[in-house]
């Protein structure tokens, strides 16, 4: 899935990502940045993510142009 960071608190790690396809907000899982190149997130940042069993955004990563669905790629 892909989306945009809607909110992020670097002190607590709490945040929301809005999905591009269903426009739902998903809370970040506690391990959302584990193993990621991200150390911090900013509002409006585009990310690719998975959902865990509880429906929280996890495994945040940057996507390639193909992953992001950029036209022409």
- Whether residue 69 lies inside any domain: the answer is no
Please give the pLDDT value at position 62.
Answer: 85
Domain containing 54 — which CATH number? 2.40.50.140
User: Residue 47 CB: number of other CB atoms within 10 A?
Assistant: 22
Torsion angles phi and psi, residue 47, rounded to 5:
-145, 160
pLDDT in tens, the chain (73 residues): 999 999 999 999 999 999 999 999 999 999 998 888 777 899 999 999 999 999 999 999 987 545 555 555 4
Residue 70 lies in a domain: no
- Does residue 19 contact residue 26 with C-beta atoms inside 8 Å? yes
Number of domains the chain is built from: 1
Is 66 a member of any domain? no
Q: Residue 26: what pLDDT?
A: 98
Domain region containing 25: 2-61
Answer yes or no: is 72 within a domain: no
Among 33, 26, 34, smallest CA distance to 51 is for 26
For tokens 């899982």, name the residue. Answer: 29
Q: How far apart are CA 11 and CA 73, in angstroms?
A: 37
């Amino acid at each position: 899935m892909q989306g945009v960071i809607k909110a992020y608190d670097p002190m607590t790690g709490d945040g929301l990502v809005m999905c591009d396809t269903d426009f739902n907000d998903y809370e970040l899982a506690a391990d959302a940045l584990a193993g990621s190149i991200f150390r911090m997130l900013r509002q409006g940042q585009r990310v690719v993510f998975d959902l865990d069993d509880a429906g929280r955004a996890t495994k945040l990563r940057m996507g390639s142009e193909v992953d992001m669905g950029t036209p022409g790629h």
